[in-house]
Structures are given as C-alpha cells and as structure tokens.
Amino acid sequence: MSGAFPVIPISDLRYKAKEILAEATDQPVVITQRGRAAAVLVNFDTYNQMARRLEILEDMRDEALMVIAQAHLEQMDFVGLDALTSLYEQKLSERLPSSVAA
C-alpha cells in the first residue's frame, strides 16, 4: 500500500457508493467530514488481514513480557505487580488495560 490514498468527502458516499467501494477493493479510501479525515474505508479481506496481524503482534508483545518476567525470576529478582505494570508501560508506551492491572 502506498502512502497517498484517495480522499473522498462523506457526501460522495450517498451518490457514488458503488464506485467508492470498487476503489476500496484496491486501496484504502479516506473519508472526510467537514474537510477533516473521519474514517478509512478498506476492503473486508484487507481489514481481516490487518486485524489478524494486530492480534499476532499483541500476542508477541505479551510473550515478550513473559520472557522479561521469566528472566527476572531466573535472576532471583522478584518483580511485583507494580514493577511489572511500570515495565509494561515503559517498554510499550501504553497503559496496561485496567482489567489486567486490577
């Protein structure tokens, strides 16, 4: 996929839906509302591929965290939940989901 995608105002969806869907088969289409990007229309198969890749990457991230935790345990360096949460947030630049941290 290239970096320059077609940009289409949301109002065109009403009149050109068939053409826009055909265009989204080959590449993502940026939908604008009031001159600002509001959504991206992608082919369903492309979306499924992206969702699957994201799932794999998240699994790899979780496995990497387990490896880090295991390495700390093998060094007899106890890691508490607060330290592991902090390490997660530091390494991944994101907050740990509250359902996991609780």
CA distance 22 to 45: 13
Q: Is the domain of 34 the same as that of 54?
A: no
Phi, psi of 72 (to 5 degrees): -65, -40
Number of domains in the chain: 2
Tell me, what's the pLDDT at 67?
Answer: 83
Tell me, what's the pLDDT at 85?
Answer: 79
Give the residue from 43, 33, 36, 37 showing the smallest Cα distance to 13.
Answer: 33
Q: Is the domain of 35 the same as that of 52?
A: no
**pTM of the predicted model as reported, rounded to 2 decimal places:** 0.57
pLDDT band at residue 32 using 50, 70 and 90 as cut-offs: very high
Q: Is the domain of 57 the same as that of 34?
A: no
Query: What range defines the domain where residue 31 resides?
Result: 7-42
Q: Is the domain of 31 the same as that of 59?
A: no
| Residue burial 60-90, b: 16+ Cβ < 10 Å; e: rest | eeeeebeeeeeeeeeeeeebeeeebeebbee
